[in-house]
Amino acid sequence: MTTEQQDPETAPPKRRSIVGGLPSHPRPSVSTILEQYGLVIFLILLIVFFAVWPKTSGTFLTSANIRTTLENQAVVTIAALGALIPFIAGQFDLTVGANGIVATFIVAALTTKAGVPAGFSCIIAVVAGAIIGAASGIVVAYLRASAIVITLGMATLLGGLVILYSKSNSITGIPTSLISFGAKNWVGVPRPLWLTLIVLLLVGYFLRATVTGRRLLMIGENPVAATLVGIRTQRLILLAFVLGGALYGVAGVVLLANTGSASPSDGFSNTFQVLTAVFLGATTVRPGRFNVVGTIVGVLFIAVSVDGLSLAGASDWVQPVFTGAAVIFAVGASTVFARRRVT
Amino acid sequence: MTDQAQTDARLRIDSLSKSFPGTQALSDLSLEVGHGEIRALVGGNGSGKSTLIKILAGVQPSDPGGRITVSGKSIAAGDITPEWSFAAALAFVHQDLGLFEHLSVAENVFVGLPYPRRAGRIDWRSLNREAASILERLRVKVSPHGPLAGLRASDRTLVAIARAVRGREGVHDGVLVLDEPTARLAAPEADRLLAALRQFAADGQTILYVSHRLDEVLAMADSITVLRDGAVVADRSTDGLDAGELSRLIVGHTVASTAESRVDTAAGPSLLEVEDVWTGPLRGVDLTVAEGEILGITGLIGAGTSSLLRAIYGAQKRQGVVRLGGRELPGGNIAAAVRAGAAFVPENRLRDGAFITLSVRENLSASYLRRFRHRLSWIDRRAEVEASTEAISAYGVRCRSPQMPVALLSGGNQQKVVLARWLTGEPRLLLLDEPTQGVDVGARAEIHRQVRAAAKRGCAVIVATSDADELLELSDRVVVLREGRVAVSAGRDEVDRHWLAQRVFGHDYLQESQR
């Protein structure tokens, strides 16, 4: 009964992160390499497998398939990069999908019903995304409410407003200028992928190389210590939600350009797909931290498995079972690795 | 001191070893503690004290080969379980007492055991009776009915001891193992607890106790075992041993007494002015600190020493005026205080100061990232690495590279990182809350040296501490807080331990102790 092992006062603070990991040891060993790049290796093996598996080998590595697969990932990737910002600051954000759907309706309604030019409508949609982010951010940062609960409420509320406005009908007749953005190439690469690349570089630069990005990381790591070194944590948490919201708006615009119509939804299935990629990403490259490159690996991992399995004609249940198992395995293994390292 | 100490060994440890991957935590350790003997176990951080205690408690297996004998019962050290340890009457009280504020004393004593029941309901009468009987046998004058929250600090420790020895035939039969029992007590409370422990020993209690407070160890223990790097470097009676010799044994080389190198720097112009500050327990505090002056503040637990530091720094809302270098610091605004040159090292440096999964570099630059900021908010990574490499060598942080996550450093080195973060920023005002709690003598001297160096540069320093030795060693001036106000402020030369005890408790305590 009086045999506690560690004095809690001197024990290092527990990780609050979902993946419960610690960054890897600088000395490379087989196990650290496996831990750090396990998901990357798994992704490569998966690609090789679909390339040689008789059921998919004919179609999987064709340029048309690679292209569609990547093209379809632009939306998810942009949204995941957006979600990364509040997640790095230690804040859950479940408004990803709902916020994106709102953006599709804003652009669709403004262009088809109010005759607002497509470009301007897109800017309004992105600003609206930022405002929605600000609304969640203010409640979370300044009222110190739980982010997961507030954003769950916000997402549900937005889903309801979308139904109210659309009366559960889709909006079609989107201007061709917008749809052609989704369809056209630049230097042989679809334009949405260029946009994704720009967002990737900006978010990567912001999170890795700027003072503000570093401060968000410190807040996510230890909010008390961050406050005590003079970081205005509330302001920055608000900023994280605003930037995340703006990027969900961008993702919504690209979604509209790809699909050509705005369909009502609360976006939760999109949210969970995006968050799955973000969590998978936190198990690789810099295990235990949400990170940009890992997130891309996470997105690609899901994309490749979905694509390969559907080319093989697998039943509907196979893909969610596969992805779900991959998340449980990756996060579980990463947590075990981390624990083994510290004890 | 007992005569029979060597004749009747209560606890005997023979060639105990414990290795972790890469380190030998204990190597071939042997020691013997006699009946009714108080044995102090001292050593630096990482010397193996905690490992030894964990092995005795049966929560960590030792390497095969060692043997433990308690009151004639012998067991291979690798086979100890918590059950064996309990049955052999080894009783442990950790630094964190693990008591429950809102339960009664009796409930705290019996927590974890099934309470006595009558007709399906808890039999409070018998619970209180049994607790009273244990407390009485320990000669602890505390009512079992009252809430723990009402007890003074030393009595809480005694309640924890009562819990550790409950269920034994004779309360003093076993071996009591105490891990830094006085680390968090103000001097008068510590003295009171030590008096109780000496009474236990006189009643036949065998005590093995860990402490970093050397004067206390010398006054209190019959004998002493010094560990360094997992091995016993000295095993002797405390007779004829002085603090200088003891710290030499612990560190392995001579530690310059920091008290001697104290410089009187209090003559500078006043840099920090605190006027009529109210917050938490504070009810109108006024004080000033001069450039280059080290002000020590102390008081009972709850006197508000931490609150005062936090209020000055802006970590806690306040009323009243705080000026640094003539410019007012807005209340509740840490960022403004940091920009004005204030630095605050919290009491719990790891929990409230460290970013454990971030690198040493990221931890060191956390408070002065602004210096590396270029256009577009870009961080000059090379300058950051250079600065952190410099800080690592200046503050003696042991790590393989600045990129290493702080989680992989030892506890002492993690503490150094947090302290170095603030000192490398060259603050004008340094606020330290219990700066050496839980660190070993060597590290403590090092921290004191650095604080003094900061003061020499012209930094105004406030040290809040409950450790009287530290207060006397480090301060140029001493302020005692009582009932939310400055009870007294005095130059270092007017202050000694007795003076402190009187001022900290006020007159009620004096009258009570005279009775």
**Each residue's pLDDT tens digit, B339-386:** 999 999 998 888 899 998 899 999 999 988 888 888 778 888 889 999
Task: Mean pLDDT check: name the lowest of B67-81, B177-191, B464-478.
Answer: B177-191
**Residue B273 to residues B327, B328, B330, B346, B458, Cα–Cα distance (Å):** 10, 9, 13, 21, 15
Q: What is A191-240 written as a DSSP string?
A: HHHHHHHHHHHHHHHHHHHBHHHHHHHHHHH-HHHHHHTT--HHHHHHHH
What span, in angstroms and rounded, lies between the C-alpha atoms of A15 and A8?
A: 14
Binning pLDDT at 50, 70 and 90, where does residue B334 land?
very high
Q: What residues contact residue B167 under an 8 Å CB cut-off, 6+ apart?
A: B113
φ and ψ at residue B114, rounded to 5 degrees? -65, 125
Contact at 8 Å (CB) between B488 and B481? no
Beta-carbon separation of B352 and A228 below 8 A: yes
Q: Which of B230-244, B246-260, B314-328 has the lowest average pLDDT?
A: B246-260
Residue-averaged pLDDT of chain B? 84
CA distance A299 to chain B (A): 25
Residue A5 contacts B where some CB pair is shorter than 8 Å:
yes
Q: Using CB atoms, which residue from A23, A229, A230 is nearest to B357?
A: A23
- pLDDT given for residue A213 in this prediction: 94
Res A9 pLDDT > 70: no
pLDDT of residue B411: 75
pLDDT band at B515 (very low <50, low <70, confident <90, very high): very low
Is 50 exceeded by the pLDDT of residue B4? no
Chosen from A215, A222, A239, A243 to mutate, greatest number of chain B CBs within 10 A: A222
Query: Which letter does DSSP use for residue B3 in this model?
Result: S
- Give A305 to chain B, closest Cα distance, Å: 32
Its pTM stands at 0.75
Confidence of residue A108 (pLDDT cuts 50, 70, 90): very high
Chain Cα centroid distance, residue A155: 15
User: What token pair was written down for B245?
Assistant: 């010799």
Write out chain B residues lying below 8 Å of A12, CB-based. Answer: 350, 354, 356, 407, 411, 414
Task: Report in angstroms the alpha-carbon separations of B385 from B362, B390, B392.
Answer: 9, 9, 10
Q: Other C-beta atoms within 10 Å of B508: how many?
A: 8
Angle (deg, nearest 10), helices B411-424 and B441-456: 0
C-alpha closest to that of A274 among A253, A244, A308: A244
Q: pLDDT tens digits, residue range A14-68? A: 444 444 444 444 455 777 787 788 889 999 999 999 999 988 888 888 888 888 8
Contacts A5 to B, Cβ<8 Å: 54, 59-60
Maximum C-alpha span of chain A: 74
Question: How many residues appear in chain A?
Answer: 343
State the pLDDT at residue B254. 59
Give me the pLDDT at residue B267, please.
57
Question: Could you tell me which residue, B22 or A127, shows the higher pLDDT?
Answer: A127
pLDDT in tens, A244-287: 999 999 999 999 998 889 998 888 888 998 999 999 988 888 87
Instruction: Tell me which of A7 and B150 has the higher pLDDT.
Output: B150
Tokens 């859950």, located at residue: A92
Q: So what's the pLDDT on residue A286?
A: 81
Q: Chain A contact for B301, CB < 8 A?
A: no
pLDDT band at residue B71 under the 50/70/90 scheme: confident
The shortest C-alpha distance from A11 to chain B (Å) reads: 8
End-to-end distance of chain A based on CA atoms, in angstroms? 22
Per-residue pLDDT tens digits for B103-157: 899 988 888 777 778 888 888 888 888 888 888 888 888 888 888 888 888 898 8
Q: Tell which residue, A241, A226, A331, has the closest CA to residue A277.
A: A331
The answer to whether residues B477 and B266 touch, using CB atoms and an 8 Å cutoff, is: yes
Residue appearing with tokens 């020590």: B296
* DSSP for residue B297: E
| Binary contact (A222, B411; C-beta < 8 A) | no
* Separation CA B134–CA B86 (nearest Å): 17
In this model, does residue B3 exceed pLDDT 60? no
Q: B164–A225: do the CB atoms touch at under 8 Å?
A: no
Angle at the Cα of A69 from the Cα atoms of A65 and A75, rounded to 5 degrees: 155
Tell me, rounded to whole angstroms, the distance of Cα A224 from its chain centroid. 26
Q: Work out the average pLDDT over B29-34.
A: 91
Q: Indicate the helix (H) or strand (E) that contains B73.
A: strand B73-76
Judge whether residue A4 has pLDDT over 60: no
Q: Mean pLDDT throughout A144-165?
A: 95
Beta bridge partners of A216: none
Other Cβ atoms less than 10 A from the Cβ of B210: the count is: 22
**Which among A4, A225, A226 has CB closest to B94?**
A4
Which residue in A191, A178, A198, A160 sits closest to A107, CA to CA? Answer: A178
Read off the pLDDT of residues A314-334 as tens digits, 9 standing for 90 and up.
888 888 898 888 889 888 887
Considering all CA atoms of chain B, what is the largest pairwise distance in Å, rounded to the nearest integer? 76
A332: left (phi over 0), alpha (psi -120 to 50) or beta: alpha
Question: How confident is the model over A304-313, as a mean pLDDT?
Answer: 89
B270 in the Ramachandran plot: left (φ > 0), alpha (ψ -120 to 50) or beta?
A: beta
pLDDT of res. B452: 92
pLDDT value at A210 more than 90:
yes
- pLDDT tens for B386-437 read 999 999 988 888 888 898 888 888 777 888 899 999 988 889 999 999 888 7
Task: Tell me which chain B residue has its CA closest to the CA of residue A342.
Answer: B408
Alpha-carbon dihedral of residues A279, A209, B418, B331, nearest 10 degrees? -100
pLDDT mean over B145-170: 85
The CA-atom distances, in angstroms, between B326 and each of A184, B266, B272, B315, B321 are 64, 18, 8, 20, 11
Q: What is the pLDDT of residue A22?
A: 42
**pLDDT reported for residue B22:** 63
User: Quick one: pLDDT at residue A10?
Assistant: 42
Within 10 angstroms of residue B307's Cβ, the number of other Cβ atoms is 23
**Given this model, what pLDDT does residue B341 score?**
92
The strand pair at B327-328 and B319-324 is best described as: antiparallel
Cβ of residue B284 closer than 8 Å to a chain A Cβ = no
Query: Is there a contact between B59 and A227 if contact means CB atoms under 8 Å apart?
Result: no
H helices within B237-380, ranges in order? 243-251, 305-313, 334-339, 349-353, 360-364
Chains A, B: CB contacts within 8 A come to 133
Whether pLDDT at B512 is above 50: no
Contact list, A8 vs chain B (CB under 8 Å): 96
Q: Checking DSSP bridges between strand B485-491 and strand B477-482, what pairing results, if any?
A: antiparallel
Give the Å distances, CA to CA, from A243 to A76, A179, B57: 16, 25, 52
Q: Is A316 on the interface with B (CB under 8 A)?
A: no
Quote the radius of gyration of chain B (alpha carbons, Å): 24
Cβ within 8 Å, pair B379-A5: no
Q: Which amino acid is at A225?
A: A
- pLDDT reading at B260 higher than 60: no
CA distances from A247 to A87, A302, B38, B301 (A): 14, 20, 67, 50
* pLDDT band for position B255 (cuts 50, 70, 90): low
Tell me the average pLDDT across B282-299: 91
**Arithmetic mean of pLDDT, B299-328:** 89
Cβ-based neighbour number of residue A340 at 10 Å: 10
Taking CB atoms and an 8 Å limit, are B370 and A5 in contact across chains?
Answer: no
- Average pLDDT, stretch B480-507? 78
> Does B425 reach chain A within 8 Å, measured CB to CB?
no
Whether the CB of A11 is below 8 Å from some CB of chain B: the reply is yes
| B356 lies within 8 A of chain A by CB | yes
Question: A26 to chain B: which residues are within 8 Å by CB?
Answer: 400-401, 403-404
Query: What is residue A16's predicted lDDT score, i.e. its pLDDT?
Result: 41
Identity of the residue numbered A268: F
What own/partner pairs with CB < 8 Å and gap ≥ 24 does A32-36 have? A35/A287, A35/A333, A35/A334, A35/A337, A36/A284, A36/A285, A36/A286, A36/A287
Q: What's the confidence (pLDDT) of residue A235?
A: 95
Give A1-23 as a DSSP string: ----SS-TTTSPPPP-STT---P
Does any CB of chain A come closer than 8 Å to the CB of residue B166? no
Residue in chain B closest to A288 (alpha carbons) equals B357
Q: Which residues of B touch A226 (CB under 8 A)?
A: 355, 366
Q: What is the pLDDT of residue B268?
A: 64
> Does residue A231 sit at the B interface (CB-CB below 8 Å)?
yes
Q: Tokens 């003891």 identify what position?
A: B246
Mean pLDDT taken over chain A: 86
Interchain CB distance below 8 Å, B379 and A26: no
**CA nearest neighbour of A19 among A289, A343, A326, A295:** A289
**CB–CB contact B338 A230 (8 Å):** yes
- Residues 6+ positions from A342 with CB-CB distance below 8 Å: A22, B407, B408
Length of chain B: 515
Separation between Cα atoms, residue B357 and residue A9, nearest integer Å:
18
Q: Cβ A22–B356 below 8 Å, yes or no? A: yes
Among chain B residues, the shortest Cα distance to A235 is held by: B335
Q: Is A178 exposed, middle or buried (0-12, 13-18, 19+ CB in 10 A)?
A: buried
pLDDT attached to residue B413: 82
Out of B98, B378, B404, whose CB is closest to A210? B378
Distance CA A285, CA A211 (A): 22
pLDDT at B55 over 60: yes
B140: phi then psi, degrees, rounded to nearest 5: -100, 125
CA–CA distance, B361 with B346 (Å, rounded to integer): 20
- Chain A residues within 8 A of B421 when measuring between CB atoms: 229
Our CA angle for A201, A204, A209, nearest 5°, is: 115
Q: Which has more confidence, B308 or B98?
A: B308
Higher pLDDT, A34 or A131: A131
A2, A209, A210 ranked by CB distance to B164: nearest: A2
Neighbours of B265 (CB within 10 A): 17
Token pair in block for residue B407: 């989680």
Whether the CB of B344 is below 8 Å from some CB of chain A: the reply is yes
Would an 8 Å CB–CB cutoff place B337 in contact with chain A?
yes
For the ranges A256-260, A318-322, B307-311, B496-500, the lowest mean pLDDT is seen at: B496-500
